[in-house]
Amino acid sequence: MITVAIEWVALIILLFTLLLIGITLYLFWSRTREKANQHVKKAYIEKHNRHWYEYFRNLAPFSEEMVPVSPYEIEAVEEIFLSYLMNVSDADIRGKIKQFANEHLVGHYKRMLSSRNWGKRMNSLYRIADFQIYALLDVCEQMERAKLSRDEYFQLLKIKLLFREERFIESFLFMPVKMSEFQYKQYMLLLSPSLLEQLKQRYTELVPECRYALIDTIGIRKEMDTLDFLKACLRDEDSEIRIRSLKAINELNIRIDLTEYDSFIASPVWEERFMMTLLLQRLPDEQSLPYLEKLMNDSSWYVREEAGRAISERRQRAGKRDAEPAY
């Protein structure tokens, strides 16, 4: 029996060794090929970087020579385009990138969209959004029907938001996967004012993470006409909603009517009291100082520190005013 086992183990080792030798040879071969391909990519960038610059700056016309022929030349074009998109916000350059991508890169990205490799599909979706390849929108919509990962669905919906805004809200509200707050926020910051308004009206249909993202976005975008909406959120049972609403109101840089907020100064949630120390700083001294002094003795170190900092700043300002000569 042992002899049989030895034979089996030896056979497994032999097969495993052959497999590893095969993988090693494949790895070295693919590295050599990759090196050659990187050389092609580098050569394209060296040869055409200047041409693209001149074309983008309207210093020279477009030349057919600039059209990439191999996948590695396409990668080189991606590098060039992405560096412009990341560093330049010129609408003309963006328009030229969009036009070129829609004319010459559609086939490449379509092939990548149907790849079995998830990474390649994701790369294709990123580039469709970056280069605004509207020629592939129908293909993207067809993809939505297939079983997708959360990241793919996120990117597909982002493409829809960028290029087919009118179809976004329904897909967003009834999406089959649950996104993270981070992802919801990415959508929110891209929403047009009319879409943002639509989402506010359908607030109750949103999941909590999406509500948090919406409130944060209102604060970041300083949407002044949303104060009533934020005030309504202050009555929410979820303390996270209340805290974020207070934060968003603070971001709006407005003087609050203290009578509407004074319950938060004695809130059992320290984050709410902390947000109140920030909001109080927008009020005149005679209104805010009694509350800030009370918050100086708060049970939370963060509240005490912020209240203390606010009081000392006020005292410094008052000291400066006193020291100024009266004319």
Partner 1 sequence: MNRWIEGIMYFFGWTIFCYMAIVILVYSVMLVFAQIELRRQYKLDKRDLEESTIDAVYSKPVSIIVPVYNEQAGVIDSIYSLLSLKYPQTELLVVNDGSKDGTLQLVMEHFRMVCVDKPRAGKLETKRVTGVYQSAIHSHLWLIDKENGGKADALNAGINYSRYPYFCSIDGDSILEENSLLRVMKPIILSNGAVAAAGGNVRIVNGFHVQNGAVHQTMLSNSALIVMQVIEYLRAFLMGRIALSRWNMVLIISGAFSVFNKKLVVEVGGYSCNTIGEDMELVVKLHRFIKEQDLDNRIEFVPDPVCWTEAPQTLKGLRNQRRRWHQGLIQSLWAHKRMTFNPKYGAVGLISFPYFWLVECLGPLIEIGGYIYVVAAFFLGNIYYEFAILLMLLFILYGTLFSIASVLLEAWSMNTYPRRREVIRMILLAMTEVFWYKPLSLFWRVEGLIRFLLRRKTWGQIARVGFSEKGAAE
Binding site for partner 1 (CB under 8 A): 2-3, 5-6, 9-10, 12-13, 16-17, 20, 23-24, 27-28, 31, 82, 86, 117-120, 122-123, 126, 130, 180-183, 185-186, 189, 209, 216, 220, 301-302
Q: How far is the CB of 306 from partner 1 (least distance, A)?
A: 12
Smaller CB distance to partner 1: residue 130 or 272?
130
Smaller CB distance to partner 1: residue 118 or 232?
118
Smaller CB distance to partner 1: residue 17 or 194?
17
Q: How far is the CB of 327 from partner 1 (least distance, A)?
A: 38
Q: Measure the CA–CA gap between 42 and 23, rounded to whole angstroms.
A: 28
Q: How far is the CB of 54 from partner 1 (least distance, A)?
A: 26
Q: How far is the CB of 61 from partner 1 (least distance, A)?
A: 31
Smaller CB distance to partner 1: residue 13 or 60?
13
Smaller CB distance to partner 1: residue 112 or 256?
112
Query: H/E/C letters for each residue in 265-320?
Result: HCCCCHHHHHHHHHHHCCCCHHHHHHHHHHHCCCCCHHHHHHHHHHHHHHHHHHHH
Residue 4's SS3 state is: helix
Q: How far is the CB of 129 from partner 1 (least distance, A)?
A: 8
Smaller CB distance to partner 1: residue 5 or 326?
5
Encoded tokens for 147:
């079983």
Q: How far is the CB of 179 from partner 1 (least distance, A)?
A: 9
Q: Measure the CA–CA gap between 129 and 125, rounded to whole angstroms.
A: 6
Smaller CB distance to partner 1: residue 260 or 313?
313
Encoded tokens for 174:
């009834």
DSSP string for residues in 151-176: HHHHHHHHHHHHH-GGGHHHHHHT-S
Looking up tokens 């004695």, which residue turns up?
266
Q: Measure the CA–CA gap between 228 and 327, rounded to whole angstroms.
A: 44
Q: How far is the CB of 5 from partner 1 (least distance, A)?
A: 6
Smaller CB distance to partner 1: residue 129 or 283?
129
Q: How far is the CB of 37 from partner 1 (least distance, A)?
A: 12
Q: Measure the CA–CA gap between 228 and 245, rounded to whole angstroms.
A: 11
Q: What's at 3, amino acid-wise?
A: T
Measure the N-to-C terminal CA separation of the chain; round to a whole number of Å: 110
Q: What length is written for the chain?
A: 327
Helices (H) and strands (E) in the chain, counts: 17, 0
